[in-house]
Structure 1
Amino acid sequence: MHIPYLTDKYKDIQRFQFVINVLLKHGLGHIISRLNLEHHLSFWRRIIHRPSPETHEIWLSAPERFRLAMEELGPTFIKFGQILSTRPDIVPAEYIKEFEKLQDDIHPFPFSDVRDIIKGELHLEIEDLFKEFSEQPVAAASIAQVHRAVLPSGKLVVVKLRRPGIEEIIEADLRILFALANLLEKRIPSTKQYNPIGIIKEFERNIKKELNFTKEAYHIEQFQRNFQNEPTICIPKVYWEATNKKILTMEAIDGIKISDIKRLEETGLDPKIIARNGVNAILKQVFIDGFFHGDPHPGNIYVLEGNRIAFLDFGIVGRIDERMQQNLSDAILGMLLKNTQQIIDCFWRLEAIDEDVDKRALKADLDAFVERYYEIPLEKLKIGWMMQDVLEIAIRNKLKILPEFLLLAKTLIVIEGVGLMLDPTLEIIPLVQPLVSSVVKKRLAPSKIFNDVLKLTTEFGSLIKTLPQEIDLLLKKLQSGRLKIEFEHQGLGDLIKEFDQVSNRLSFAMIVAATIIASSLMVQANIGPFVLGLPLLGLIGFIISGVLGMFLLVLIIISGRF
């Protein structure tokens, strides 16, 4: 049977079967059954397969077994699990907790491959580009590994190289993920509200950006421009003569990891100043630049002399446009001013509320949220708590949450945690307030109002011009009978599957019965040759009928429907 998104290549089909077998191995056979994929199992696995895990996993929870399956399936599925761990709007908390444990540490590829990549991409030998080049990588992951090197100028750099063949592996796995998402929507219509195919498309965009190191280099340069007048922030320099989509060469940062508080203090650095510098840097990225580091965990932040902050790993970045900046600022002001309606208006403008949302229940939840924080002084409020509570309210009330907002929420929660680790007395809301106020003031500036009115007038004029044409086209289609309305049945997949199974078993039973009748006629006709006094052909017929009958009985017992 052809599966959409999968090619007919042997490797694709083989990999798809491997994915199904891994799910079965880890006790996730119920997924195979729900998606009607039993026919992709081998013949004997199809007969004996059960949705139970292997013996050593029998006491593990479903989320733990799901994590183990993803780890066995390799880098694409590990990355996908890591992305799902940031989606509390669609993934239950117990699965998020497990997916956060996914690691993509992997053995480094040999130095001979490093030489081949550099020669093939930059058309020069390593010795022609670098004065020194360490053969041992300082880090190795599923997508890339990193080596230290020295340029002919004597500048110390790090060189990030994409793992050979990883692009082809990810492309093949993406086709499988798309196929599974498509089957999920068809076989389990209730999952459509979560938009499985849309989730895979978003993942595809993100992982392809990570594969292209040129994009990461542009991200680095964008951060450099945004912080060129900020002496407390250091962004590494990109060396373009040794950079392309498979290789990224940038300035090496020799500092102290921000989580190493003991060493920071021994070096004479001030954790409290560092905490403020780091938090202010992220807040500026969000509320001023609209372009922020999407993964500011302690491993990606180093501290240099003078309490300066250096950010590393710019593969994951977030962007929020002016409209989202304004609504985010209004929502935060609504929280601080205990104004529930202002928060609801922000959700509405961001198109998070549709006709299925219970407005009264949403307002009641937000009223309770405001009441919970009413007695807490502003300087004691934690933005992480507030973000977490807002996300829970959005999930409970089935609001549509933009992926950008989820990444933003995660970033703010992580950087607040880093700040509080350095300085438990850090007050973040007072740092947020002036930035939020500046966004609001910018929106109310006369020049901004004039530009908005001009833009609105232009869009309205365009609508007036095209509206008659659109109406005319609609009427013409209606008159000519070419207006199409598409209907889609839902929930009939399982019924069709049941009919197929019933008809197959009925046909099988009829064949067995026919074989028994034919054998009986041969015995009655008493036609030789004979074995034990019975006609041989009749005896063979009875044996075949018995085997087929037992086989049918086993299938019925395994199905549990008898």
Structure 2
Amino acid sequence: MSVETSLNEALLSIPAWIVTIGLFAFSAGFLARRLLGVPIGWPRSIVVGLIVYAAGAPVATLFASTSGLSAGTELSPSALGAAALIVVLSFAWAFAFGIGLLVLVEVLWPTGSIPTPLAYFRARRASKARRRRYFRVAALAIRNGLLRPVGARAIQSGTPEATRTARALAKTLNQAGVSFIKLGQTMSTRADMLPAEYISELSVLQTRAEPENWTDLEPALAAALGAPVDQVFASVSTEPLASASVAQVHAAVLPNGDAVVVKVQRPQALAQVTVDLDIIERFAGTLENRTGWGKALGVKALASGFADSLREELDYTAELESMRTIASGASTIRIPTVYPELSSKRVLVMERLDGVPLGEADFSAVPAPERQRLAESLLRGVLAQVVVSGVFHADLHPGNILLLASGELALLDFGSVGRLGKDTRTSLAGFLVAVKAEDNVAAAERLLEMLDPPPELDRRQFERDLGVLLTYLGGSTSSLVTRLFRLVQQHALGVPAQLAAALRAIGALEGSIKLIEPGFDVIAEAQKQSSSLLASMYSAESLKHLLASNAIGLVSALQRLPGNLSSLSEKIEQGTLQVRVRQFSDAGDRSFLTSLAHEGIVALIAIAAVIGSIVLVGLDTGPMLAPNLRLYTFFGYTLALGGFVFGLRTLVRAFRGKRER
């Protein structure tokens, strides 16, 4: 029997050769992934299996021929075993070269860097949508004169350039759609950073976004309600009461006569936000990766926070639950009653309140004592949300605060809501009390309880800097909050997102309060209310539960104390007291060292195998496995194979580890 005949019979013995190739390729791919020890992509692993299948037979034929087993040679039973070993080693080396190719591809194009056809198609479609969006926004900016060359006077208050540029910016954002309107709303609350012209123009976006046609909106409302609109409501006004960034509000009457408002999401809001946020997050990622200031500011995290907030705003079930929670603890501010049976993710039905937004209200005829009462009521209500209940309205611009005909104040649009835990609220109230007492040491202690201080923090210097900050208490709230954020950034303190939202909400509230009573001292009033807020947090019932909870832990500790002290005293007297310091206690450190040791062992095995193979191949003695192949030489080729594969494993893991770091 010839070698060639044996190979052909071995490879073609199964008629279903396609199944054979598939199984071989899958098995070879699986083995390649296991040997390399990294999650190589299946498509390229299977391709390696196909290469091995195609190259195995020619390599085996060549190896057999150089070993003296040429085609047409009849093999004895003893030589047949040697030929089988040669075939196996040939396929193993073909497999090894396939793995080498796999490693080369993995180093140049790591798994995941080349998208799958489906992912590529989706990315192309998303990229096309982004390009269309880029061009549309740029065209709007050019049409409105926003990109016209201007100097520094465009951001100087009181100049014609500032007025024109602010108007162009507001018009562009308004026409650009949902996400950009929301961005304009956020900018309108930063009176500490932007000139008055910009604040005035951007504030219009709060309630005057271009409305959606009712003919386009009604089908979306019916779909969200699950029934025709005229079956759910006795009547619905086709003219919106307000048109916000992601929705618009229409007046309606229920069959029982209740006057309600219906907040309906714009039909294209979700799709538009998805594209816009993709653009914003990609741009933020580029800034953070390529600029030092972007990395220092953490613009990627900021963009991600803005995106999460906007996505949550598109789910009205979350807004409904937030309204219920805030209403349960509200006392000085009115919260509309909601109708959960008529609400869903895309529509929110709530009580209609008769009033006007603060931005449009005229307080000139309102007596000063009444304006003072309204300002105090608004501040007290918001501080109670932040400090006492822990669930607060985080978007307190004038368009979201309503002056009712009854003289009360009400809050609208609960799409952006923040939440603070009990420990943070306690520290925040304590911070306000310490600020009132001008105790910078206590204020620093309470502030650090809420923040994430770095190990190298200079607490003494931080206390001094905070003491200097407290000398600015006579200024505006927004200015104080801005200075506080600068101090936190200066000392590399981490600010939890929810705490930052609470501080920004309190800072932004000043602009709304000044519309009611321009002379109102927000900081002084907040200091005055701090003690009562702290008392509200701890009612007699809550204090009883708190004391009981701590007493249980204290009793348990006291029970163990005598025994612990006795044991400690004995060990000190006997000189057997030991202090153990565990090195590498962190699981990540131990995992790194273990991985490093494993890879070092693999590298040593690879080097030893290569050296051993060189020695064995160079020997001229030993039994013959084939006419031109010694047994030791065969063992040398086998050792070289192992060293080659282990070396490839070390190489690919080294490159992959470098990328991950």
Which interval holds the TM-score relative to the shorter structure? 0.5 to 0.7
1:533-548 paired onto structure 2 within 5 Å: none
Cα offset for 1:358? 5.7
Q: Which residue of 2 aligns with 1:194?
A: 297
Q: Which residue of 1 aligns with 2:223?
A: 120
Quote the Cα distance in structure 2 between the aligned partners of 1:112 and 1:443. 55
1:178-189 paired onto structure 2 within 5 Å: 178-189=281-292
Q: Which residue of 1 aligns with 2:415?
A: 315
Distance change >3 Å, CA 419–CA 95, structure 1 → 2: closer
The range that moved more, 420-429 or 340-349, is 420-429
* Residue 217 (structure 1) aligned to one of 312, 315, 320: 320
Cα offset for 1:250? 0.8
Distance change >3 Å, CA 312–CA 26, structure 1 → 2: closer
Q: Is residue 454–residue 492 contact of structure 2 (8 Å, CA) maintained in 1?
A: no
Q: Which residue of 2 aligns with 1:480?
A: 598
Q: Which residue of 1 aligns with 2:353?
A: 253
Query: Aligned letter for 1:57?
Result: P
* Residue 408 (structure 1) aligned to one of 502, 508, 512: 502
Quote the Cα distance in structure 1 between the aligned partners of 2:123 and 2:410. 46
Quote the Cα distance in structure 2 between the aligned partners of 1:400 and 1:339. 22
* Residue 149 (structure 2) aligned to one of 47, 57, 70: 57
> Secondary structure, in 3 states, of the residue corresponding to 2:249?
strand
Cα offset for 1:185? 2.7
1:493-504 paired onto structure 2 within 5 Å: none
Deviation readout 1:116-136 (Å, 9 max, x if unpaired): 113222232121111111111
**What stretches of structure 1 of length at least 5 have no aligned partner?**
29-52, 459-463, 491-562
Distance change >3 Å, CA 446–CA 137, structure 1 → 2: closer
Q: Is 1:165–2:259 an aligned residue pair?
A: no
Q: Is residue 145–residue 160 contact of structure 1 (8 Å, CA) maintained in 2?
A: yes
Cα offset for 1:195? 2.3
Cα offset for 1:364? 3.3
Quote the Cα distance in structure 2 between the aligned partners of 1:438 and 1:113. 48
Quote the Cα distance in structure 2 between the aligned partners of 1:242 and 1:161. 12
Quote the Cα distance in structure 2 between the aligned partners of 1:70 and 1:129. 35
Quote the Cα distance in structure 2 between the aligned partners of 1:323 and 1:273. 31
**What stretches of structure 2 of length at least 5 have no aligned partner?**
1-108, 156-164, 557-581, 601-652
Compute the TM-score of the two structures, normalised by the length of structure 2: 0.57
* Residue 394 (structure 1) aligned to one of 482, 488, 503: 488
Q: Is residue 264–residue 271 contact of structure 1 (8 Å, CA) maintained in 2?
A: no
> Secondary structure, in 3 states, of the residue corresponding to 1:411?
helix
* Residue 236 (structure 1) aligned to one of 323, 336, 355: 336
Distance change >3 Å, CA 112–CA 432, structure 1 → 2: same
Q: Is residue 130–residue 275 contact of structure 2 (8 Å, CA) maintained in 1?
A: no
Q: Which residue of 2 aligns with 1:141?
A: 244
* Residue 257 (structure 2) aligned to one of 154, 165, 175: 154
Q: Which residue of 1 aligns with 2:329?
A: 226
Quote the Cα distance in structure 1 between the aligned partners of 2:179 and 2:324. 28
Quote the Cα distance in structure 2 between the aligned partners of 1:54 and 1:315. 30
Q: Is 1:331–2:413 an aligned residue pair?
A: no
* Residue 454 (structure 2) aligned to one of 354, 365, 371: 354
Query: Aligned letter for 1:399?
Result: L
> Secondary structure, in 3 states, of the residue corresponding to 2:148?
helix
- Number of matched residues? 446
Q: Is residue 86–residue 96 contact of structure 1 (8 Å, CA) maintained in 2?
A: no
Q: Which residue of 1 aligns with 2:391?
A: 291
Deviation readout 1:219-272 (Å, 9 max, x if unpaired): 111122223xx4x54321112232111111111001355563548749x99333
The range that moved more, 307-316 or 396-405, is 396-405
Distance change >3 Å, CA 6–CA 305, structure 1 → 2: farther
Q: Is residue 67–residue 99 contact of structure 1 (8 Å, CA) maintained in 2?
A: no
> Secondary structure, in 3 states, of the residue corresponding to 1:353?
coil
Query: Aligned letter for 1:121?
Result: A
Cα offset for 1:26? 10
Quote the Cα distance in structure 2 between the aligned partners of 1:475 and 1:55. 55
Q: Which structure shows the higher helix fraction?
A: 2
Deviation readout 1:298-337 (Å, 9 max, x if unpaired): 3333344664332222112221111211221222222222
* Residue 374 (structure 2) aligned to one of 256, 274, 282: 274
Deviation readout 1:86-143 (Å, 9 max, x if unpaired): 689xxx9359995885437443222222321132222321211111111111222331
Q: Is residue 144–residue 162 contact of structure 1 (8 Å, CA) maintained in 2?
A: yes
Cα offset for 1:21? 5.6
Compute the TM-score of the two structures, normalised by the length of structure 1: 0.66
Deviation readout 1:390-409 (Å, 9 max, x if unpaired): 23433444433333233322
Quote the Cα distance in structure 1 between the aligned partners of 2:235 and 2:189. 40
Q: Which residue of 2 aligns with 1:434?
A: 532
* Residue 448 (structure 1) aligned to one of 546, 551, 563: 546
> Secondary structure, in 3 states, of the residue corresponding to 1:270?
helix
Q: Which residue of 2 aligns with 1:14?
A: 128
Q: Is residue 433–residue 530 contact of structure 2 (8 Å, CA) maintained in 1?
A: no
Cα offset for 1:205? 1.4
Query: Aligned letter for 1:13?
Result: S
